[in-house]
Amino acid sequence: MAQKFAFSLVAPEGEFFADEVELVVAPGAEGDFGVMAAHAPFMTLLRPGIVRAEKDGIATRIFVHGGFAEITPARMTVLAEEAIDLAGIDEGALSTEIRGLGEELKGITDPVHRAGIEARAARLEALRGAIAGQRH
């Protein structure tokens, strides 16, 4: 059994996940990376993607929309711009919401309102892409 280390993921709303885990795989700005106990210290930016934390053979998958990670030999902390637990995602509802935002954009001329909806649609598209990528 692999040695465990402390892992926490914090979103703007507060601590999203915290536990002792054996492995974390995260979407770094330059590619995915894995962390185990006693890893060399470093910090990195995160791109939108899935953080996978494994403990006792069970994986928890959390979508993050960017952020950064700090790794020390004893712990890993992720500060995410946004975090979504993939266990509760309804892919059909996600696709419906994306289509709805596309339809909503057709009637919007205000650039500020339009930018907000485009940003929301881009985040949902990134989430859908990350989910699809995990199936391959």
Which residue is it, tokens 């990134």? 126
Q: For the domain that residue 74 is a member of, what is the CATH number? A: 2.60.15.10
Element (H, E) at 7: strand 5-11
Which contiguous run of DSSP H or E holds residue 108?
A: none
Residues 113 and 65 in one domain: no
Residues of the chain with pLDDT under 50: 136
Given this model, what pLDDT does residue 136 score?
A: 44
pLDDT, position 1: 65
Domain co-membership, 111 together with 74: no
Which structural domain, as residue segments, surrounds residue 11?
Answer: 5-86
Report the pLDDT value the prediction gives residue 105, as an integer from 0 to 100. Answer: 86
* pLDDT the model gives residue 59: 92
Q: What is the pLDDT of residue 41?
A: 96
Q: Are residues 82 and 99 in the same domain?
A: no
